[in-house]
């Protein structure tokens, strides 16, 4: 796809999607084009999953490495059948509990799924999004839609139409703007082809929720900070979610974290750097006196980690807008959605963790 392509911008009401606009976007998809659209997790960049050439345009627009497979999005249980060789026993249970929603199931693929979608693997990742615009788009186009996050590869995932335009204007056929994504982190990727269902990427559906339904759930050890292991989800090995400034995570007891961050703000500013602090509602006030950071972003509340997930990627992108050189982020407990938040933060920090 050549640069300078005219990108159609469609603003659609997320509660009651205007059908004429959905039809316009669906038509682009059925003709082999690429369309960015909102989902409840983050914005996706979609194309007909059964059309190799259409899918190749996604990779080109994002600059995505060819060995990183795409998730296929469906709007009904029936759509899954043709995409898989067979359904493992636990698949139906999980689909009934968590679909539509932020859970991607890794399943044995059928022959109709092109190699480019699965990066040559014999499995395919499938998810049914809950966002009304995503669902309408899939239903009206009558297609399974392959869609990774709608960002330039390596950048923080987009959670607003504006983020998508910033990365992909001129590179995709259309951007559907349906307001901010609510969950804010990507789907949980769960491998159902291993003996014990295994989380390959933590996301919107938590380990605890899965354990309640499945009993036994494993987490790919490669994503728990053991860097010498090779993650089973190819995408997890890449540098990711990186704003232009360098991110540092400050870990430890909260009161010590605040003290440490304040002293780092001072040190870094003395070196002439512009410094941002990613704080929480509970701690924000402690950064409101000298040494004052150049930018203070209150991501959410520790009492409601979902608010932190929801604002995380926008916070990282805001630091870019403010031309920040160093981003000092508090850490949160790796429970519930906190596991996904910390996974994204650790990757954005390329594992630069400072102990307070």
Residues of this chain that bind ligand AMP (CB under 6 A): 68-71, 106, 118, 121, 123-125, 148-149, 186, 189, 200-201, 232-236
Question: Quick check: 104 binds Mg ion (CB under 5 A)?
Answer: no
Q: Which is nearer to ligand AMP, 234 or 252 (CB)?
A: 234
Please report whether residue 188 would count as binding Mg ion according to CB under 5 A.
no
Looking at the Cβ atoms of 186 and 330, the one nearer to ligand AMP is 186
| Preceding omega of 100 cis (within 30 degrees of 0) | yes
Paired sense of beta strands 275-280 and 295-300, if any:
parallel
Nearest approach, Cβ of 258 to Mg ion (angstroms)?
A: 32
What residues pair up with 125 in beta bridges, in sequence order?
Answer: 71, 106
Q: Distance from CA of residue 67 to its chain's centroid? A: 18
**Binding status of residue 181 toward Mg ion by CB under 5 A:** no
Residue 332 contacts which entry, Mg ion, ligand AMP, none (Cβ below 5-8 A, type-dependent): none
Q: What is the largest CA-CA distance in the chain?
A: 62
Q: Report the nearest approach of ligand AMP to the CB of residue 117 (Å).
A: 8
- 326-330 and 295-300 beta bridge pairing: unpaired
Told to check if 280 binds Mg ion by CB under 5 A, we report no
Return the DSSP state at 156: P
Which backbone phi and psi does 45 adopt, to 5 degrees? -110, 105
HSE (side-chain half, CA atoms, 13 Å) at 193: 19
Which range touches Mg ion (CB under 5 A), out of 55-63, 92-100, 142-150, 207-215?
142-150
**Alpha-carbon distance 111 to 115, whole Å?**
9
Minimum CB separation from ligand AMP for residue 240, in Å? 9
Total residues found in the chain within this entry:
356
Which is nearer to Mg ion, 123 or 149 (by Cβ)? 149
Residue 105 CB, shortest distance to Mg ion, in Å, is 17
159 near Mg ion, judged by CB under 5 A: no
Closest to ligand AMP by CB, 23 or 239: 239
CB under 8 Å, gap of 24 or more: what pairs does 282-288 form?
A: 282/254, 283/254, 283/257, 283/258, 283/330, 286/258, 286/262, 287/258, 287/261, 287/262
Minimal distance, residue 149 CB to Mg ion, in Å: 3
Nearest approach in angstroms of CB 70 to ligand AMP is: 6
Residue 310 near Mg ion by CB under 5 A: no
DSSP state of 179: S
Closest approach of Cβ 93 to ligand AMP, in Å?
Answer: 20
- Tell me if 149 contacts Mg ion by CB under 5 A: yes
- Residues forming the site for Mg ion (CB under 5 A): 149
């Amino acid at each position: 796809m050549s640069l300078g392509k005219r990108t159609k911008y469609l603003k659609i009401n997320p509660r009651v999607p205007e059908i004429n606009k959905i039809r316009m976007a669906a038509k682009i998809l059925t003709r082999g084009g690429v369309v960015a659209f909102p989902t409840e997790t983050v914005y996706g960049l979609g194309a007909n999953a059964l059309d190799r050439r259409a899918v190749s345009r996604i990779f080109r627009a994002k600059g995505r490495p060819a060995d990183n497979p795409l998730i296929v999005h469906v709007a009904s249980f029936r759509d899954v059948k043709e995409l898989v060789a067979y359904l493992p026993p636990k698949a139906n249970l999980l689909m009934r509990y968590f679909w539509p929603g932020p859970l991607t199931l890794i399943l044995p693929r059928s022959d109709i799924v092109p190699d480019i979608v699965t990066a040559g693997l014999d499995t395919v990742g499938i998810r049914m999004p809950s966002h009304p615009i995503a669902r309408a788009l899939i239903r009206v186009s009558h297609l399974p839609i392959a869609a990774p996050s709608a960002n330039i590869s390596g950048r923080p995932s987009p959670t607003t139409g504006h983020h998508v335009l910033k990365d992909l204007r001129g590179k995709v056929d259309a951007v559907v703007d349906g307001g901010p994504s609510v969950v804010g982190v990507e789907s949980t990727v769960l491998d159902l082809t291993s003996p014990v269902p295994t989380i390959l990427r933590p996301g919107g559906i938590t380990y605890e929720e899965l354990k309640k339904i499945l009993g036994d759930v494993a987490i790919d050890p490669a994503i728990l900070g053991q860097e010498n292991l090779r993650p089973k989800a190819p995408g997890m090995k890449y540098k990711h979610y990186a704003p232009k400034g360098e991110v540092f995570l400050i870990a430890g007891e909260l009161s010590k974290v605040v003290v440490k961050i304040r002293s780092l703000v001072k040190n870094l500013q003395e070196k002439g750097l512009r410094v941002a602090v990613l704080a929480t509602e509970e701690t924000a006030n402690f950064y409101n006196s000298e040494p004052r950071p150049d930018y203070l972003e209150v991501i959410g509340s520790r009492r409601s980690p979902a608010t932190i997930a929801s604002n995380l990627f926008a916070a990282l992108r805001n630091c870019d807008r403010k031309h920040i050189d160093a981003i000092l982020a508090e850490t949160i407990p790796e429970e519930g959605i906190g596991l996904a938040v910390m996974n994204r933060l650790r990757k954005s920090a390329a594992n630069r963790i400072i102990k307070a």
